[in-house]
A and B are shown apart, each in its own frame.
Chain A
């Protein structure tokens, strides 16, 4: 009797994606299993953000070829909110400011949407507030943020902390971090990284999209992939990130062409 490997959390096979009719991903293949942390690195314009957006279901991102599966299920059939409820979370590179939609309201509505999907009752108001307070302390956020509009008037660093706070509360199965390190000073980077590291678990996968190696000093990946020209050109362990830092992305391209 052979052991069948568990179904991957995320599996892209020869994935082709167009944005506004322009091909961005051109045959990307990637397998992410539970318990793994992946870093997707690459030059600007390589398609890194497109990958995270297409997994989260952003309208306007069209799969034109290949397949994209989450726990064996075709993601294309699912609306963005259904993906979220099923455990996919995208931490935005540029989190939106939504004045007039209360921060704590969004947190609670998001958590309850997920609980409903799982057949669980709505979260108790008191327990919820305690949970949020604890997580906010962990993210070194001022409780005053709760009563404000979503990301309203937040600094770049505060927005990123808020993304990770949402992630801590929603406890996704597949967390996608889109350039979460961009715009962070070193102190904020440490706080945000610690918040992400909290979530490392055998049941969960984290996929970080980043341009710089810096983030990987704080969140250690199991796998590093180089995404360029819409494909994964090279995959390796943590040491690959250091090599990229030293030799640049052109080195990978040259190797791939060879």
Chain B
């Protein structure tokens, strides 16, 4: 589909099932007038601010460009890990009138170039940090992540403000530097395709702390092979409006797919997550856990659909969604959906919505803990089981002290 057609199509309306709970403000953003071919460099301070406190090699993407090490995108890749541009025709987004894959279509149409991050067979690549910063207020990243048979990777993504200022160093011809006058709220589009071959394991944390006037469209398409494990750990904090569509496909027996999300919205933020887990093969396992906090007039929505086709014998899925409302005007919508076409499977789901436990608050205060601190402790406790899944103690500490109000 041409860019013009896509632009004419716009973002799906609320009548589209996959966009029913999406922020309407998303469609007022310009998702098409995006990146130039030129790589614009974020300020070093912006990069530094986006780096999370975890010791690991760092890859930097500004807009959708990979920033080479020589230009401040630091970190040599560990042995067995490669990052390479994909030929233009290698990236084809499935486009239809359905809104389910619209983000991929927009990302593919607007990205300056697609990339592949690969880990070779049986390589344990440890932790890799990937910064994704908007450049000139925009960015469209198309990234394939391929883990070969038996490969292991802990990928820590940081989505943060990439507000840039002019860089004085001379750079090659197709590199321009950003203008400081650029103050438009950032828009970021991401399409990640993850493929895990047999026995591979990917821990995929996504710490999203974009500015509160930014907007994000995100699509994750994940296929998990035999005895492979995908663990998604999204920590969603920023943006005015964000829409995430995630499709986890458990393709072969023994595949595990986990989605463990912490989401916090406040003020007038609006975030919606549409997750579909398909147990394509027999004896596949999935878990979905969401801990969502909402204050102010914020809105959050999580739709978790679990599909078990007739081929899904012995599949096992457990879903646990907990919502905590911190104000009377905040709203959290939860939609668990089960589509089960086979008998011998297990599928459980539970969801709760409540406010901060006043009894527990009084208990803590009666021990001398100040009210604000007591509230913070209870919010931390609420998110604890999901936060605990993050495999980096330093990041967990950072979240505890910085992210919770």
Could you tell me which A residues sit within 8 Å of B by CB distance? 56-59, 79-81, 83-85, 89-90, 92, 95-96, 98-101, 106, 109-110, 113-114, 117, 149-150, 166, 170
Q: How far is the CA of A59 from the CA of B370 in the complex (A)?
A: 14
Give B residues with C-beta under 8 Å from A: 357-360, 362-371, 373-374, 377-378, 380-385
Smallest beta-carbon distance A100→chain B, Å: 3
- A sample of 9 more A-B contacts (CB under 8 A), given A79-B371, A101-B377, is A56-B366, A57-B365, A79-B365, A80-B366, A81-B366, A89-B366, A110-B368, A113-B370, A117-B368
Whether B367 pairs with A149 at a CB distance below 8 angstroms is no
A96 touches B359 (CB 8 A): yes
Bound-complex Cα distance A114 to B363 (A): 15
Contact at A84–B368, with CB atoms within 8 Å? yes
Q: What 9 A-B pairs are tightest by C-beta distance, nearest first?
A: A100-B381, A113-B368, A100-B384, A84-B368, A110-B367, A80-B365, A96-B363, A81-B365, A101-B381
Is there contact, CB below 8 Å, between B365 and A101?
Answer: no
13 A–B pairs (Cβ distance < 8 Å), ordered by A: A56-B366, A79-B371, A81-B367, A98-B364, A98-B381, A99-B384, A100-B380, A100-B384, A101-B380, A109-B369, A113-B369, A113-B370, A170-B368
Give Cα A89–Cα B383 distance, bound, in whole angstroms: 29
- Contacts A98-B378, A101-B378; is A106 near B366 (CB within 8 Å)? no
Contact of B360 among A83, A85, A96 (CB under 8 A): A96
Contact: B371 with A81, CB < 8 Å? Answer: yes
Residues of A within 8 A of B357 (CB): 96
Q: A85–B359 Cα gap in the complex (Å)?
A: 19
A223 to chain B, nearest CB (A): 24
Chain B residues with CB under 8 A of A57: 365-366
Chain B residues in 8 Å Cβ range of A56: 366
Do A149 and B381 touch across chains, with their CB atoms under 8 A apart?
A: yes
Q: Cβ of B366 and Cβ of A90 under 8 Å apart?
A: yes
User: Which chain B residues border A114 with CB–CB below 8 Å?
Assistant: 368
- Whole-angstrom CA separation of A257 from B271 in the bound complex: 65
Contact of A106 among B364, B382, B385 (CB under 8 A): B364
CB neighbours of A117 from chain B (8 A):
368
* Chain B residues whose C-beta falls within 8 Å of the C-beta of A98 in the assembled complex: 360, 363-364, 378, 381
Instruction: Provide the residues of chain B in CB contact with A90, threshold 8 Å.
Output: 366
Q: In the complex, what residues of B have CB within 8 A of residue A99's CB? A: 381, 384
List A contacts of B364 (CB < 8 A): 98, 101, 106
Verify A58–B369 contact, CB threshold 8 A.
no
A59 touches B358 (CB 8 A): yes
Q: Are A58 and B362 in touch, CB under 8 angstroms?
A: yes
Q: B366–A59 contact, CB under 8 A?
A: no
Most chain A CB inside 10 Å of its own CB: which residue of B366, B374, B377, B385: B366
Given contacts A99-B381, A100-B384, contact A84 B363 (CB under 8 A): no
Are B382 and A100 within 8 A (Cβ)? yes
